Structures are given as structure tokens and as C-alpha cells.
Amino acid sequence: MDMIEKKIDGETIYDGKVIKVIKDRVVCPNQNIAYREVVKHNGGSAILCITEDNKVLLIKQFRYVYNEIIYEIPAGKLEIGENPYDAALRELEEETGYKASGLEPLGIIYPTCGYSNEKINLYLAKDIKPGHKHLDDDEFIEPLYIPLEDVKKMILSNEIKDAKTICAISNYLLKYKK
Amino acid sequence: MDMIEKKIDGETIYDGKVIKVIKDRVVCPNQNIAYREVVKHNGGSAILCITEDNKVLLIKQFRYVYNEIIYEIPAGKLEIGENPYDAALRELEEETGYKASGLEPLGIIYPTCGYSNEKINLYLAKDIKPGHKHLDDDEFIEPLYIPLEDVKKMILSNEIKDAKTICAISNYLLKYKK
């Protein structure tokens, strides 16, 4: 089945700090014309840290868009031209003050396939050591270590709602059959 | 720790079909002023269907924002005023032609906590029976039944990238300890 949509033309609606918004006119496989609203995002990296005694590093952070304090694994946007691996190491240290000796890929996820091109690169951190915490002026973050078994319960009870966090835990559990 | 950001004022940047974009000025906990770009989205529902012989109903769909055909569970946006449960039943039948006798909640996920207020309601469908497929004019969807064990492998190999799909499978596996 032909499913591809081809762009005819488009316009930029908004060019902001975190997102850019465009509106494209496309031809559908049946030759109908449709409009696609696209939020352009530079992508991000997120890091699952599990300590030797099987505790997961989570952060509590207020998220303005949801008007809630939520649990997440450390994560952040890629800088322009930055590769996802370097961004992951940087964000981990900036947000939590921990350095990893290396990162193991846990897949790339597509959080918003209806309207945003954001991709999030998931990693598992190895050998975490204390480094230098450095939060942005408008970041307020509280790090916590929670046993993996409790994290699973928090996903099941829906106390953890963040998709990248659930995906990282899921991919880790599938990979290591925990 | 006080983490709450309070809105001072805001402006509407764009009011579209799927998304609305606003830019708010906020006061941070340290009294600094910051701007928050917010993509407003009405939210969605996504449905995990697992047959008696343990096959998962996935759809293949071209996603313009990623310029890729990807695997997903059936899902869709809430209509204005529609509740997530009804939206899930409606989208399942429209996209796949299958009716469920009921739905079991599998949690609510937050896919984009940095810039969009979208929430996705996950459900597990019960007793699927043939109904009436009805795709939108600009929807082109191919349904597939894939054994659960193969779906796990497709998540691990990153062939499945869609976050809501991974979260629904993950929550199902955690709940039923599969």
C-alpha cells in the first residue's frame, strides 16, 4: 500500500526557543490535498542510571505544560550540532551532578508521531561517579534514588507518567529480562 | 523545595487544527522571569488489543513529521468534549474495523513534558469483534497481527519506536507479569 505523503509547500508559523512550528501542504496517496502542522524540535537524550544496589536515579521536576511536579529520568534537549551521546553525558552531569564512564544505547523513541518530529535517544549510564551539577537559571530539580522494584510499582500505579521514563525502564527490563 | 512556576501573562501564537501554540511569561521559584512555549493538544487515547492467541494488533502508518512508516497501536485525538474511553472505542473501530466489548485502563502517559500538554490515555481492549472500519480522508493505515513475543523483539531491536506503543506494552507486561 502506498502511504507516503509528499510536501507541496509550507510556511513557518513560529520560530521559538525550544520549538519551531510549520504548516505544510501535502499530497496524500489518494491525491487529496491535506495540511500538516509540524512542531520542529531538535531532539533530546535521556539517561537511565541504575546503581549497583539496583536503585534508579529519578528526578522530580515541575513541568509547566502539565502544571505538575513529575518523576522523570534525567534528560535534555540536544544543542545545535551536538550528538545525542554527548548531550546525554552533559545533561546527566548538569542535572544530577553525576558523571558516567560510558553509555549503552537503549533505543530511540518517537514520543509524538502526530505533530512533532522530536526523537529521544535513550541510554543506560555505566559506572556513575560524582561530578559537577550545573542547572540552568530556570531549572529546579530534585534527584532521588528509588529501588527498581518500587519504580515498577510506580509505573503500574501511574505515579510515573513520563513516556521516556517508562520506555527506558521497559527497554532495560526487556533487554536484561528483569 | 519550591518548584512551581506561576504564569504572569501569555499570548496565542497559532490556533490550528491539531495544535494551538501559546507563549507564556512565568515567574520561577527564584523569582526570575522565563518564557514557556506550550503546544496545546486536546489529548488522545491509544488501545492495546491482544488476541486470545497472544497476537498484538499493530498498525503501520506513514507519519509525516518523521517522514517514515512506523508501527503503532491504534490511537487518535479526543474530539472536543469527548471522554478518553469513548474516543478509544471509536478510534479502534474507525482505524481497524474492530469493536471491543470494554476497555481496561493501562495508565495515562505524558509524552512531551518539555513543550506540549498532550496526555495519552492507554487502554487494553477486551473481546474484540469485527465492526465497521472508517478512515479519515487523509488516513492510510495497514493493520497487522504480530505475536507478543515478536513485538517484544521489535521493541528491543528498535523497529518499534513509538512511545505510546512501548508504554502500553510495558504496562501490560508489568501488570500481567508476562
pLDDT 10s digits, B103-130: 999 999 999 999 999 999 999 998 888 7
HSE at residue B43, side-chain half, CA atoms within 13 A, is 20
Is A107 close to B35, i.e. CB distance below 8 A?
Answer: no
pLDDT score recorded for residue A1: 64
- Please determine, for residue A148, whether its predicted confidence score (pLDDT) is greater than 90: yes
Question: How far apart (Å, rounded) are the C-alpha atoms in residues B94 and B108?
Answer: 22
Average pLDDT over residues A141-152: 92
Which range is least confidently modeled, A86-100, A124-138, A158-172, B36-50? Answer: A124-138
Average pLDDT over residues A33-46: 96
pLDDT score recorded for residue A173: 96
Determine the distance in angstroms separating the CA of B67 from the nearest CA of chain A, rounded to an integer: 8
Q: Is the CB of A8 inside 8 Å of chain B's CB atoms?
A: no
Is A69 close to B3, i.e. CB distance below 8 A?
Answer: yes
Q: Is the CB of A164 inside 8 Å of chain B's CB atoms?
A: yes
Is B110 close to A70, i.e. CB distance below 8 A?
Answer: yes
pLDDT tier for residue A117 given thresholds of 50, 70 and 90: very high
**Mutant choice from B11, B20, B42, B113 vs A, greatest count of A C-beta within 10 A:** B113
Name the residue in chain B with its Cα closest to that of A41.
Answer: B115
Q: Is the CB of B163 inside 8 Å of chain A's CB atoms?
A: yes
Which helix (H) or strand (E) covers residue A91, if one does?
helix A84-96
- Please determine, for residue B178, whether its predicted confidence score (pLDDT) is greater than 70: no
Is A156 close to B175, i.e. CB distance below 8 A?
Answer: yes
Query: Using CB atoms and an 8 Å cut-off, which of residues 94-153 of chain B contact chain A?
Result: 107-120, 137-138, 140, 142, 152
Q: At what angle do helices B148-156 and B163-176 cross, to 10 degrees?
A: 130
- Please determine, for residue B134, whether its predicted confidence score (pLDDT) is greater than 90: no
Is B140 close to A28, i.e. CB distance below 8 A?
Answer: yes
Is B26 close to A64, i.e. CB distance below 8 A?
Answer: yes
- Please determine, for residue B136, whether its predicted confidence score (pLDDT) is greater than 80: no
pLDDT tier for residue A143 given thresholds of 50, 70 and 90: confident
pTM above 0.90, yes or no: yes
Q: Give the 3-state secondary structure of residue B51.
A: coil
Question: How far apart (Å, rounded) are the C-alpha atoms in residues B139 and B72?
Answer: 14
Residue A5's contacts (CB-CB under 8 Å, 6 or more residues apart) are: A26, A27, A28, A29, A34, A36, B62, B64
Query: Which residue did the predictor score with more confidence, B26 or A96?
Result: B26
Q: Give the 3-state secondary structure of residue A83.
A: coil
**How many helical (H) and strand (E) elements, i.e. helices and strands, does chain B have?**
3, 10
Q: Which of A31, A117, A109, A1 lies closest to B59 in space, CA to CA?
A: A1
The mean of the pLDDT values for chain B is: 93
Which helix (H) or strand (E) covers residue B15, if one does?
strand B6-15
Q: Which of B163, B177, B128, B166 lies closest to A116 in space, CA to CA?
A: B163
Q: What is the pLDDT of residues B5-41, one digit of tens each?
A: 999 999 999 999 999 999 999 999 989 999 999 999 9
Query: Using CB atoms and an 8 Å cut-off, which of residues 36-75 of chain A contact chain B?
Result: 36-39, 41, 44, 60-66, 69-70, 72
Average pLDDT over residues B156-178: 95
Q: Which residues of A touch B21 (CB under 8 A)?
A: 13-14, 19, 21, 39
Q: What is the pLDDT of residues B59-72, one digit of tens each?
A: 999 999 999 999 99
Which helix (H) or strand (E) covers residue A142, if one does?
strand A141-147
Determine the distance in angstroms separating the CA of B84 from the nearest CA of chain A, rounded to an integer: 16
CB A3 within 8 A of CB A26: no
pLDDT tier for residue B1 given thresholds of 50, 70 and 90: low
